[in-house]
Structure 1
Amino acid sequence: MKKTLLATAIAGALGVSAAAQAATVYDQDGTRLDVNGRIALGISGGGEDDVAPGEAKAGGTEFRNIYSRLGLTMSHDIDPDLRAFGRVEWRFNGDERDQSGGFSEVRHSYIGLESGNFGTVMAGNFDSFYNSRVVNPFDVYIDRGHEFSKGAGGDLQARGDSIGYITPNLEGFQAFLMAKHYTGNGLAENGESRSSVINTQGGVSYELAGLRLAAGFAQDRGDYPLSARGTRHRYDSRDQRGIDENIYGATASYAFNDNFSARLGYETQDSNDGEIDAGGAVEDWSGYDTWGLGMTYAIGQWAFNADVHRVSPDNEDTRTAWSAGSYYKVSSNFDVFAELNRADQGDITVSTGDGVEVEENSDNLYWLVGARYHF
């Protein structure tokens, strides 16, 4: 299948440290344990500008940790058609001394069963199926540039307390479904107890030769009271309460040959008119439409990405965002990269504190250069 769509767009722009460079610690009698990860460092600048006088600087040059990770992958062959598996992965700070324990996040932690005849079931803390199986062709940038999934990527109504199922591959067709549970225990709003919430997402995909088609949905219902995590905004990946309207998306990708692939995508979410009519802030409850077009070209040790997105929020001006990246594989374990992103956010009206309102541009060209060692 054209090397599986250029190895899924060069595996997220050379981003898979887990599978390719994993060190096998134990492999005997059908039981296997691998250790893998990466140390990634870079320098970035640009992006968000100061949005008001007196606010903290946001877009200056910075030496950064670029999502360094350490992971363990486990598996056990129960019989020729059934395999048990598990994975745990941590993020750690790779750019500076950290006396708080080092690890900043448990990124993944899940277990599951995989069968060629019956499919795969998994439970725990894993990425959004909608992101990994529908809009994944666009998730190729190391840092910024993924405009689908509300900019949340794998965090979209996922990453914890989740159960998922993927059917076997039926002559190119696969279906998938997952659910994330939000307990109401310990949460109260306006003095009232809250019920549990379950958000589901799912879809179908079809692959034939170099072509891959996928379509799906993700429920985006509220999962926290408004007071629990600050303000709500659909482009803030730290806050995934949702606007109580489903997200729908579809992508098509095609590998023309072993070097070049292209991708096209569309995603939409309706505004929650009921909440807006009831007095809710428009920016909190508005939907959007997003189109995306991109390509990946790989030759020798080099890979290149270029994407453009047309984002049309219901309550804001339409913007055209673009991203580009180049990646060079120095060796099987070491690569260097450079990325650019322009989100094309509009001007923001701010107050100077003396009653005068001014327009400030909230977005500059964002750049990132760096290197990664995979193990």
Structure 2
Amino acid sequence: MKKTLIAASIAALTATSANAAVKLYESETGSFSSYGKVQLELQNFDGENNIQNQGSRLGFAGDTKLDNGLTAFTNFEFRFNPGVQNNVKANAADGGEWTVRNSYLGVKGDFGSVKAGNFDSITYTMVTEQADIMENAGYRSLDGGDVNSRGTAIAYETNDISGFKFGLGIKHYASDDSAYGTGTGTPAASKLTSGTGDEVWNIQAAATYSLNEELSFGLAFDQNNEDGNPAAAQANGDFDPIIAASVNYATDAFGAGLVLENSGDYMVANLTGSVNYGAGDVYALVSFMDNDVDTGVDFGLGVNYKMAKNFVTYGEVAVGNDKVSDVGDLSIVTVGAAYKW
């Protein structure tokens, strides 16, 4: 089967799927599985070394066939830091408390699927994620997985329709008068409230088209509602809607892709490529950004080695060269390893 994302083996490290999980229970009517990974890396930034976590997690997924031909499904995931002692409580002194991510429930069938809960935005999963190939630094985006998503979101995705897939996502922000909150931190800080204090819905829409097993295209729109998530919008300095487009060509041996994102005066372009050398992948990223004041380019280069199907080691270098950079004028060197199931 051909790969549908650049360096799919790399993406698997950062987005472990229940499809590759360990089955804990399975019957004719449903299943329940466990998945996860432990990933640590040594980072050298400006001569300073530190050992850090890279998305370690433990997750569970289940599905049950219903009498009406539909299938109900659920997913719940915990993130933790394996490099420190973790206290399972909010505001733990060691900073290593467990957090809940990618936790939702839904139903699927011939109509497609609909789910509600806490998950990455459809803009990210359907369009921009293909450029997120670096394990550590180098990749940047106006609409990453957590922008206008994660936490009280609803999403609908169609099944394949002659190569096309469509998605619609809605993020809900409660009013200041609502008692709803995340249950962590202070009541004021934990509430998923809007910028105005009123109840707000933020809308996203995306579509993809696969011409064949190798070539695919994507287009997405994020309302980026200025009354919805001001923190996300202000991080980019703009409240304008986010438009993203992608093209990706990938085979088992080679992959190349381009993701373009625009929001008002901001523009980001990520060009990616990868080559499979048999025991792993060599991959590269060029990230260009224009914020209407300055322009800049970040570079990333990495290689991984699959010592086993579920154990991978890797090394990366990320370089920035100007003001508009997530890396800065320095370089970041990373070596790491991940065990996943």
Residue in 1 aligned with 2:118? 125
Residue in 2 aligned with 1:157? 148
**Aligned partners of 2:81, 2:147: CA distance in 1, in Å?**
23
- Taking only aligned residues, the RMSD between alpha carbons, in angstroms, comes to 2.8
What is the TM-score when the length of structure 1 is the normalising length?
Answer: 0.77
Q: How many residues align?
A: 318
Matched position secondary structure for 2:120:
coil
**Aligned partners of 2:196, 2:267: CA distance in 1, in Å?**
35
Residue in 2 aligned with 1:195? 198
Amino acid at match of 1:154: G
Report whether the alignment pairs 1:311 with 2:289: yes
What is the TM-score when the length of structure 2 is the normalising length?
Answer: 0.85
Sequence identity, in percent? 30
**Aligned partners of 1:11, 1:220: CA distance in 2, in Å?**
29
Amino acid at match of 1:90: F
Task: Give the greater-gyration-radius structure (CA).
Answer: 1
2:57 pairs with one of 53, 60, 69: 69
Report whether the alignment pairs 1:249 with 2:244: yes
In the TM superposition, residue 37 of structure 1 has moved relative to its aligned partner by 0.7
Matched position secondary structure for 1:233:
helix
1:35-73 deviation per Cα after TM superposition (whole angstroms, max 9, x unaligned): 1111111111217xxxxxxxxxxx721011221100001
Report whether the alignment pairs 1:107 with 2:101: yes
In the TM superposition, residue 12 of structure 1 has moved relative to its aligned partner by 1.0
In structure 2, relative to structure 1, the CA distance for the partners of 1:343 and 1:179 (3 Å cut) is: farther
Matched position secondary structure for 2:267:
strand
Matched position secondary structure for 2:4:
helix
In structure 2, relative to structure 1, the CA distance for the partners of 1:126 and 1:113 (3 Å cut) is: same
**Runs of 5+ consecutive residues of structure 2 not aligned to the other structure:** 90-95, 179-187, 189-194
Residue in 2 aligned with 1:259? 253
**Aligned partners of 1:202, 1:231: CA distance in 2, in Å?**
18
1:126-152 deviation per Cα after TM superposition (whole angstroms, max 9, x unaligned): 10100110112101222222222x2x5
**Runs of 5+ consecutive residues of structure 1 not aligned to the other structure:** 48-58, 235-241, 271-286, 349-360
Residue in 1 aligned with 2:181? none
Matches within 5 A, 1:285-296: 287-296=265-274
Contact 2:313 2:337 in 1 (8 A): yes
**Aligned partners of 1:221, 1:29: CA distance in 2, in Å?**
44
In the TM superposition, residue 220 of structure 1 has moved relative to its aligned partner by 1.2
Matched position secondary structure for 2:145:
helix
**Aligned partners of 1:230, 1:84: CA distance in 2, in Å?**
32
Residue in 2 aligned with 1:170? 161
Report whether the alignment pairs 1:141 with 2:131: no
Matched position secondary structure for 1:12:
helix
In structure 2, relative to structure 1, the CA distance for the partners of 1:223 and 1:63 (3 Å cut) is: farther
Matched position secondary structure for 2:66:
strand
**Aligned partners of 2:166, 2:63: CA distance in 1, in Å?**
23
Contact 2:6 2:256 in 1 (8 A): no
**Aligned partners of 1:295, 1:201: CA distance in 2, in Å?**
27
Amino acid at match of 1:323: G
Contact 2:60 2:77 in 1 (8 A): yes
Report whether the alignment pairs 1:367 with 2:333: yes
Contact 2:6 2:131 in 1 (8 A): no
Amino acid at match of 2:120: D
Residue in 1 aligned with 2:306? 329
Matched position secondary structure for 2:208:
strand
In structure 2, relative to structure 1, the CA distance for the partners of 1:31 and 1:194 (3 Å cut) is: same
Contact 1:13 1:140 in 2 (8 A): no
In the TM superposition, residue 343 of structure 1 has moved relative to its aligned partner by 3.6
1:204-235 deviation per Cα after TM superposition (whole angstroms, max 9, x unaligned): 11002211000111111235797xx799422x
Contact 1:121 1:163 in 2 (8 A): yes
Contact 2:139 2:285 in 1 (8 A): no
**Aligned partners of 1:9, 1:223: CA distance in 2, in Å?**
36
Matched position secondary structure for 2:159:
coil
Residue in 1 aligned with 2:297? 320
1:180 pairs with one of 161, 171, 181: 171
Contact 1:68 1:91 in 2 (8 A): yes
In structure 2, relative to structure 1, the CA distance for the partners of 1:131 and 1:17 (3 Å cut) is: closer
**Aligned partners of 2:221, 2:2: CA distance in 1, in Å?**
28
In the TM superposition, residue 185 of structure 1 has moved relative to its aligned partner by 2.4
Residue in 2 aligned with 1:38? 37
Residue in 2 aligned with 1:88? 76
Contact 2:14 2:135 in 1 (8 A): yes
In structure 2, relative to structure 1, the CA distance for the partners of 1:37 and 1:225 (3 Å cut) is: closer
